[in-house]
Amino acid sequence: MSMGPQSLPIGVFDSGVGGLTVLRALREALPRESFLYLGDTARLPYGTKSPQTVERYAKQSAQVLVDRGVKLLVIACNTVSAVAVETLREQFGPLPVVGVVEPGAEAACAATSSGHILITGTEGTIRGGAYERAIRRRRPGAVVLGQPCPLFVALAEEAWTLGDVPKLAARRYLAPHLDADGALDTVVLGCTHFPVLAGVVQSVVGPEVTVVDSAMTTAGAVRSLLEQLGLASPNPVPGQLALLATDDAERFARVGSGFLSTPLRAEDVELVDL
């Protein structure tokens, strides 16, 4: 039995290190599962690239994980989730594929009472409108606003998550959406870099506004799917973690340690070529 699909790792990929916030949430929710993570650090960022290019990169990244043997694919990248989930399902089915957008939209609809929701993300994610479509499918009358927060990515990668600088950036991005009548009641962290700035975002929007982290909600969706498909790991011990990157293991380890909340060394990261 031990060699059944249940014992295979879960494959997780992203354009870089941001997806490690999703991996961290997955490992907390599913401690007995093993994970194989790929960060396509040679070609990041994906957020500024065309949908065709993002789709091509996503297929190549997913192929590496599928070739090594995984039981489920998690797209830990909002940009790929916004444009390529269906393509990957077609190419790799019946392998289950989970993106971050649908669980994030689901959680936003569950959290909001006013129906006024703000999506924060990269310019590509906001421009693509995938969150807005996913929310409107569930809640047709919702008022969905989008706010690109490109500086958040740099702040997160510098581990600059406390103090005046991130707070000023958050205020600059978010304050215009906080109107006097307080209609806005939910903010979605629609970029995998953003969970490390959740505290700053919450302090700017105030305690009445719910901040939804799509990494945590994705972990919940994966857990439900594993149970539903009978793919949960039977191992009584904590699972293994293997990390792959396409460039610069040194930087991946340094920046990744902050996102994963676990010290990483460059030698823990295997370089692969796509």
Q: Which two tokens stand for residue 112?
A: 């909001």
Sign of CA dihedral 230, 232, 236, 242: positive
Give yes or no: 149 in active site.
no
Contacts within 8 Å (CB) and 24+ apart, 152-160: 152/120, 152/191, 152/193, 152/194, 152/197, 153/18, 153/45, 153/122, 153/191, 153/193, 155/197, 156/18, 156/193, 156/194, 156/196, 156/197, 156/258, 156/259, 157/17, 157/193, 157/255, 159/196, 159/255, 159/258
Selecting among 17, 26, 38, 77, the annotated active-site residue is 77
- Cα–Cα dist 59/202, whole Å: 35
- Cα–Cα dist 97/144, whole Å: 26
Give yes or no: 191 in active site.
yes
Selecting among 101, 191, 243, 264, the annotated active-site residue is 191
CB of 9 closer than 8 Å to CB of 35: yes
Print burial letters for 221-241: b (CB count within 10 Å at least 16), e (below 16): bbeebbeeeebbbeeeeebeb
Beta bridge partners of 73: 11, 97
Within 10 angstroms of residue 56's Cβ, the number of other Cβ atoms is: 14
Q: Which residues are catalytic?
A: 77, 191
